[in-house]
Amino acid sequence: MGGVYGEINSRADFDRVLHEALGIACRILAGGRNPAIEAIAAQLTWMALTCEGGREPSADERQKVNVGLIAMRELDADRQDDSGLLARKLYALDNYFTEWPTDEQAATATDADFWRRFGL
> pLDDT tens digits for 38-77?
999 999 999 999 999 999 999 999 999 999 999 999 999 9
pLDDT, residue 111, reads 72
pTM: 0.90
Structural domain boundaries of the chain? 3-100
> Which residues, other chains included, contact 119 with Cβ-Cβ below 8 Å and sequence gap of 6+?
none
